[in-house]
Structure 1
Amino acid sequence: MVPHLPVTRSPARPLSAAPALASRFRRATAAFLLGTTILSGAAAVVPSAAAAAPVTVPAVSQELPGSFADLVDRVMPAVVNVSTVQGGNAAPEQRGMPGMPEFPPGSPFEEFFRQFQEQQRGARPRAERQQAQGSGFIIDAAGYVVTNNHVIDGADEISVTLHDGSRLDAKLVGRDPKTDLALLKVDAGKPLAYLEFGDSDTARVGDWVIAIGNPFGLGGTVTSGIVSARGRDIQAGPYDDFLQLDASINRGNSGGPTFDVHGRVIGINTAIFSPNGGSVGIGFAIPSNLAKGVIAQLRENGTVSRGWLGVQIQQVTPEIADSLGLGQPKGALVADVTANSPAAKAKLAAGDVILALDGRPVDTIKDLTRMVADSKTGSTVKLDVLRRGKRETVSVTLDAMPDQPQVAAATQSPDRPGAAQTDSVLGLTLSSIDASGRRRFGLSEGVEGVLVVGLEDAADGVNLRPGDVITEVGNERVAAPAQIAAKVQEAREAGRGAVLLRVNRQGTEQFVAIPIKKA
């Protein structure tokens, strides 16, 4: 089943929408249809003051399929329905009724009032078993079935219904909540029709796609459309890289395949955006190239092991790029390095900007997250890093991602005496850290730097607030407001439009670029 946004990726429970995605759709309050001319083998002339070569638009009619029937006939036998049953304790509304007293277990009145309440509700059983349905597809003649993790999450029983109507019990081989994928196994006593993964990286916006699944429990249903967008991040998890489709995807389509026109699986349907629970032509599918490695590990080990670098990273904004002398706001800025991590052992440091991994460009922090996760534990990767204005190559041997990141708790110690120094820089009221400042803002003894104690009008829009501690400016440690003023003046004289600060906010390190023009 496909959850609609806002609904959960669980077959039975509603949930809230991804805020970032929902806000973008709320802002889209009107749509405009632009006039276009359809050319068939003709040429469109681009007006220009200088003589410009004509832009030829090739005819596309020969690429449009007359029918998907032959393709559907080939792939339909390998698409299945997935049904689950989930038991549990009595539903909350069965435990009591408004205005009715609660009695301790074993009380003489407990059974009497239980029977009375059941009569008022129509004598429903004390524990209801919830059923849910989704979709899946077979990837091996031996009976391995791919579906979404949220389709089978919490299920006590899982069954698969094949195209011929036969119903088989399914065993959970493994699941990966971070990518919302799961692998099942059925025993049909015979080889089963199966599908192969295609190359989702070759899917282009505008390409035809076909989705098959079990919407609303209706059974094998085929819909078609195009790839509407690539690389969508819907805030569903750390590895969001969805294909957006306009093929009709509804509840129950979750886990079903999306095909290209050659019948290869290029996506696994997993979510929709919908204000009412029905399809509005905005569906999301996990790309096959992301799913391949996950499914292979689930089949072999039952779990997924991901590479781990051990850094906290943040996106390079235009202001940060300006402060660092980068031409484009690309890369992943290292905000902090985890102690004893692969990054620490390779001498990566806060302020480094990771621009590429094994020659593959890192344009966003999502790129780096996926690349590291896709790398094998124990493998050595080469990072192209911008460090203090110079490019370097750093080799890092990745470790296994820990299940629970370990965070060391800061311990409080007695305040140190000393008079604080204050100054105003870039519209920020700054102070050196003294005993009073530590008490006022709850700073631990281990935090050192320059304390932000106030913001002036000139600092309007700056991503800082009282209680933040500036620990570095331009990759150099600072302990007094005068040092920050001097670094700002250096950046101004160098022609920089912004200055880069490293900030400790309630124990979390991050970088903030402040435009110098706001001084």
Structure 2
Amino acid sequence: MRISQVPRSIRQLSTHVLAIFLGVVLTVSCLQVLPSQAEPAPDPVVTQRPSTAVGAIGSSSFVTAAVNRVGSAVVRIDTEKTITRPVDPIMEDPFLRRFFGESFPQQSPTEQLRGLGSGFILDKSGIILTNAHVVDQADKVTVRLKDGRTFEGKVKGIDEVTDLAVVKINAGSDLPVAPLGSSSNVQVGDWAIAVGNPLGFDNTVTLGIVSTLKRSSAQVGISDKRLDFIQTDAAINPGNSGGPLLNGQGEVIGINTAIRADAMGIGFAIPIDKAKAIAAQLQRDGKVVHPYLGVQMVTLTPQLARQNNSDPNSAIQIPEVNGVLVMRVVPNSPAAKAGIRRGDVIVQIDNKPITSAEQLQGVVEDSRLGEMLQVKVQRGNQTQVLSVRTAQLQDIS
């Protein structure tokens, strides 16, 4: 159980947002879109051209230049994973086996699953950045370059909390490297170019814009992650996971990660500034430390509190203040040990005002493992300051 933000409505604790990670099967109603399992030869870069209005200001030349700058550093990642299935008891029935003899079907207890994703080369030594869900629990990772060369990939580190992973290939020192930009310079309305291998169509490029910034993982519907995404309308599909999102200059500003299954033209990318910091830790340690408190929470305003308090069926009365309402405390977590309770409203940490769940999560994420935080809570008509020592997120039982 992790720190997570629940939806804004106090009386409705679940969300109807469905976020689909792009390296897995996408299901919409009765339609299944599966990554291609074929092995097509590398295709030339396919560019989805902008509209006529864009063409009027220079056609796709800036897109071509951007793709030429980074395209050879984008890789395809194929994975294989063996899973064990429970044997159907009827298949073990001795009577049926004797009756049917050799014609009785045999059930294999194992199954091979294949996956497809994208990534890009960070340095000439063969370090590749991709999504954690692309390579997680894979028995075999194969990396294919745009020029057709293939290499066995070794997963150096995975961080499920930020959905990032580092893969290493041994391919000499002449590898192309993707130029990295800065996501802190990105603005809404900037060009966004997605490069990857969607649905097995290698070396595919799509064009759009940055739709918005700092879209929290809770808003997207992925409450077990700690991310603020870049939102884009550049077409992203299964197989794009781990591929780069570029700006108009051909610099990587994000890692394509997720889409909304109930929408068109809404995709999400991990900002490259966050990814660079995580990638450095994964290369060094193979894992990332994430401090946590152990609460589920929602941003609270006086108006929301009044709405709750005026409801005769409300389970609790909430202080009518700005802060973060604790909806649940994880048993044996730092918050539980410190005495934080359901219904408390966190209003300060270390004398700094807290007005949103995203802000609280950011403060905790930026703290040190084992650091003692002074958490001020409003409990009914009383105010208390509790000392909470952060712990490692992966230690949650």
* TM-based fold match above 0.5: yes
Structure 2 counterpart of 1:80: 75
2:220 aligns with one of 213, 222, 234: 234
The residue type paired with residue 165 of structure 1 is G
On the 8 A contact 1:313/1:335 being kept in 2, the answer is yes
Change (3 A) 1:176 1:65: same
The residue type paired with residue 133 of structure 1 is L
Cα distance between partner residues in 1 of 2:191 and 2:300: 35
Deviation of 1:226 (Å)? 0.5
2:103 aligns with one of 106, 113, 118: 113
Secondary structure of 1:371's partner? Answer: helix
On the 8 A contact 2:23/2:240 being kept in 1, the answer is no
Deviation of 1:260 (Å)? 1.8
Q: String of CA shifts for 1:403-422, please: whole Å, max 9, x gaps.
A: 334xxxxxxxxxxxxxxxxx
The residue type paired with residue 221 of structure 2 is Q
Structure 2 counterpart of 1:103: 93
Structure 2 counterpart of 1:400: 392
Q: Give yes or no for the alignment of 1:165 onto 2:128.
A: no
Structure 1 counterpart of 2:165: 182
On the 8 A contact 1:293/1:374 being kept in 2, the answer is no
The residue type paired with residue 292 of structure 2 is W
Change (3 A) 1:399 1:197: farther
Change (3 A) 1:177 1:103: same
Structure 1 counterpart of 2:276: 292
Q: Give yes or no for the alignment of 1:332 onto 2:324.
A: yes
Cα distance between partner residues in 2 of 1:337 and 1:268: 32
Deviation of 1:224 (Å)? 1.3
Cα distance between partner residues in 1 of 2:101 and 2:277: 54
Change (3 A) 1:128 1:324: closer
On the 8 A contact 1:249/1:283 being kept in 2, the answer is yes
Cα distance between partner residues in 2 of 1:363 and 1:111: 71
TM-score by length of 2: 0.70
Q: String of CA shifts for 1:219-239, please: whole Å, max 9, x gaps.
A: 111111111123152212332
Q: Which has the greater radius of gyration?
A: 1
Any residues of structure 2 matched to 1:263-274 within 5 Å, and which? 263-274=250-261
Structure 2 counterpart of 1:194: 177
Structure 2 counterpart of 1:9: 21
Q: Give yes or no for the alignment of 1:307 onto 2:291.
A: yes
Cα distance between partner residues in 1 of 2:352 and 2:67: 37
Change (3 A) 1:127 1:137: same
Deviation of 1:313 (Å)? 3.3
Secondary structure of 1:187's partner? Answer: coil
Deviation of 1:62 (Å)? 8.7
Cα distance between partner residues in 2 of 1:237 and 1:261: 31
On the 8 A contact 1:332/1:362 being kept in 2, the answer is yes
The residue type paired with residue 287 of structure 1 is P
Change (3 A) 1:392 1:140: farther
Structure 2 counterpart of 1:259: 246
The residue type paired with residue 211 of structure 1 is A
Q: String of CA shifts for 1:69-107, please: whole Å, max 9, x gaps.
A: 222211112211101122345798xx79xxx97634995
Cα distance between partner residues in 2 of 1:157 and 1:163: 20
Structure 2 counterpart of 1:141: 124
Change (3 A) 1:273 1:334: closer
Cα distance between partner residues in 1 of 2:277 and 2:97: 56
Larger RCO (alpha carbons 8 Å, 6+ apart): 2
On the 8 A contact 2:24/2:238 being kept in 1, the answer is no
Secondary structure of 1:189's partner? Answer: coil
Deviation of 1:397 (Å)? 4.6
On the 8 A contact 1:6/1:14 being kept in 2, the answer is no
Shifted more, 219-228 versus 126-135: the winner is 126-135
Q: Which one has a larger percent strand, Structure 1 or Structure 2?
A: 2
How many percent of aligned residue pairs carry the same amino acid? 38
Unaligned runs of 5+ in 2: 1-16, 30-55, 308-317
Cα distance between partner residues in 2 of 1:198 and 1:370: 23
Secondary structure of 2:220's partner? Answer: coil
Structure 1 counterpart of 2:208: 225
Secondary structure of 2:134's partner? Answer: helix
Deviation of 1:321 (Å)? 7.0
Cα distance between partner residues in 1 of 2:372 and 2:64: 48
The residue type paired with residue 209 of structure 1 is A
Cα distance between partner residues in 1 of 2:300 and 2:126: 46
Secondary structure of 2:21's partner? Answer: coil
Cα distance between partner residues in 2 of 1:185 and 1:363: 42
Change (3 A) 1:303 1:101: closer
Structure 1 counterpart of 2:45: none
Deviation of 1:109 (Å)? 5.1
On the 8 A contact 2:18/2:260 being kept in 1, the answer is yes
Change (3 A) 1:81 1:354: same
Any residues of structure 2 matched to 1:22-61 within 5 Å, and which? none
